[in-house]
Amino acid sequence: MPDSQSPKPNTREAILDAAEAVVTEEGAGRLTIDAVVARSGFSKGGVLYHFPSKIALLEGMVARLMGTIEHDLEAAETAAQQAGEPVASHLLRVIADKRHLESDLPVALLAASAEQPHLLDPARALNQRLWERIRDASSDPIQALILLLVIDGMSFNDLIKFKQFSDEDRAAVKARLIAMSKDLFQ
Partner DNA sequence: GTCTATATCAAGATAGAC
Partner DNA sequence: GTCTATCTTGATATAGAC
Q: How far is CA 149 from the centre of its chain?
A: 16
- Indicate which of its own copies, DNA, none lies near residue 111 (CB less than 5 to 8 Å, by partner kind): its own copies
* 6 Rama class: left (phi>0) / alpha (psi -120 to 50) / beta: beta
Sign, Cα dihedral of 120, 126, 129, 131: negative
Closer residue to its own copies (CB): 14 or 66 = 66
- Indicate which of DNA, its own copies, none lies near residue 71 (CB less than 5 to 8 Å, by partner kind): none
Looking at residues 83 to 122 of the shown chain, list those that interact with DNA (rule: CB under 7 A).
Answer: none
R_g of the chain computed on alpha carbons: 19
At its nearest, how many Å lie between DNA and the CB of residue 62? 16
Q: How far is CA 169 from the centre of its chain?
A: 24
Q: Give the residue among 160, 161, 158, 154 at the shortest CA–CA distance from 176.
A: 154
Task: Tell me how far apart the alpha carbons of residues 77 and 73 are, in angstroms, rounded to a whole number.
Answer: 6
- Which residues, other chains included, contact 7 with Cβ-Cβ below 8 Å and sequence gap of 6+? none
Name the segment binding DNA (CB under 7 A); options: 28-36, 60-68, 135-143, 163-171: 28-36
Task: Tell me how far apart the alpha carbons of residues 49 and 36 are, in angstroms, rounded to a whole number.
Answer: 13
> Where do contacts with its own copies occur on this chain (CB under 8 A)?
27-29, 104, 107-108, 110-117, 120, 123-124, 127-128, 131, 142-143, 145-146, 148-154, 156-157, 160-164, 169, 172-173, 176
Closer residue to its own copies (CB): 33 or 107 = 107
Looking at residues 30 to 89 of the shown chain, list those that interact with DNA (rule: CB under 7 A).
Answer: 30, 32-35, 41-46, 48-50, 52-55
List residues binding DNA (CB under 7 A): 6, 8, 11, 30, 32-35, 41-46, 48-50, 52-55
